[in-house]
Amino acid sequence: MKIKNLLLFPILALTLFACTDKDDEADIPRAPEPELIVKFKFDPAQVRLDNLGQPSTVATGNAAQSPIFNTISSHYLEFAPNANTALGAGTILYNGESTLAGGSSAFDFSKAIIVAEGEAFLRIPLSQIQVGSYEWVRCSLSYQNYNINVWSSGANYIGTLASFVGKSTYITTHNIGNYSFVVNGNRDQGYWAFGLQGFPYSTSGQAPAGATTVPNPINSTSPISAGSCVVTGKFANNLVITGTEKSNIEVTLSLSINNSFEWNEVNADGKYEPSAGENVVDMGLRGLIPSYVR
């Protein structure tokens, strides 16, 4: 009996040690998977571009201001290998949800990812991104929320404007501070709503069809559809995804807000005065410069 017990002891000990080793391995923290992180930046000093990506000034008869941005949203993001890559033929990183609730397909605003400057808009494991070299970024912007100066009766006021620049957006109810705007339908590109800060006044309206600027420097080789808001920008150096990354890659999408809020002047004083009949004509972002750090 003693000999048998002695023989069994090493076997039992090995079994216990083996179980302990496996449990210890399960407790060891694993390194997080490297991600692509996408953030936005708003730059009032960045070059102001037109639809073809050329430097642009404010149109004669109009005036503009660089708003103070609060938040933004996009419903489409794509990396394109080169200037000949057709829209949708690159690596699509994000495509927001759509709905038919408004009668035709539209971006569903209730599902929008809305972020402030420097806040992560997307976090995607790098292992899920197609290996390749990417020269261009295409970002379809859908919503902007910013503060603007409003002139009325000889005084300046601050108001907050919600600007919907996607091709078509389905909205139930949206809010600006304490102001609530009930829509329950689709709104075309250029719909806006405004709430005055400190005073009980709000209103909404619609910019003219086709008036929203959407810079696309590669329009001659890779055009976008009319009415979309796919702003296109080029990396200074191609972003290369190898599939062997060990750390995060952070991409910053710097948007030009240089005089991006534009209206038709009635009183030629450079001040936005809706009480004088001055109407919003353009709320498009004025250029995209993407950059990255590893």
Per residue of the chain (294 residues), give pLDDT as tens: 444 444 444 444 444 444 445 555 566 766 689 999 999 999 999 999 999 999 999 999 999 999 999 999 999 999 999 999 999 999 999 999 999 999 999 999 999 999 999 999 999 999 999 999 999 999 999 999 999 999 999 999 999 999 999 999 999 999 999 999 999 999 999 999 999 999 999 999 999 999 999 999 999 999 998 888 999 999 999 999 999 999 999 999 999 999 999 999 999 999 999 999 999 999 999 999 999 999
Task: Report residue 133 CA to chain centroid gap.
Answer: 22
pLDDT of residue 16: 42
Distance CA 261, CA 67 (A): 7
Task: Output DSSP code: residue 14.
Answer: H
Answer yes or no: is 15 within a domain: no
Q: In what order do the strands lie in the sheet with 179-188?
A: 98-99, 106-108, 168-176, 179-188
Q: Based on the structure, what is the number of domains in the chain?
A: 1
Q: How many residues does the chain have?
A: 294
Task: Specify if 94 maps to a domain.
Answer: yes
Which of 37, 91, 34 lies closest to 245, judged by CA?
34
With respect to residue 14, please indicate whether it lies within any of the assigned structural domains: no
pLDDT at residue 226, as a whole number:
84
Could you tell me the residue range of the domain that residue 230 belongs to? 34-293
Q: Which pLDDT score, from 0 to 100, does residue 9 have?
A: 46
Sign (positive or negative) of CA dihedral 98, 72, 179, 203? negative
Where would I find the H helices in the chain? 2-27
Q: How far apart are CA 193 and CA 57, in angstroms?
A: 25
In the three-class reduction of DSSP (H, G, I as helix; E, B as strand; rest coil), residue 255 is classed as strand
pLDDT at residue 174 in the model = 97
Whether 26 is covered by a domain: the verdict is no
Question: Does any domain span residue 279?
Answer: yes
Residue at 22 is within a domain: no
**Structural domain contains residue 17:** no
Burial of 202 (0-12, 13-18, 19+ CB in 10 A): middle
Q: Which tokens in the block code for residue 164?
A: 């919907």
Is residue 83, in this structure, part of any structural domain at all? yes
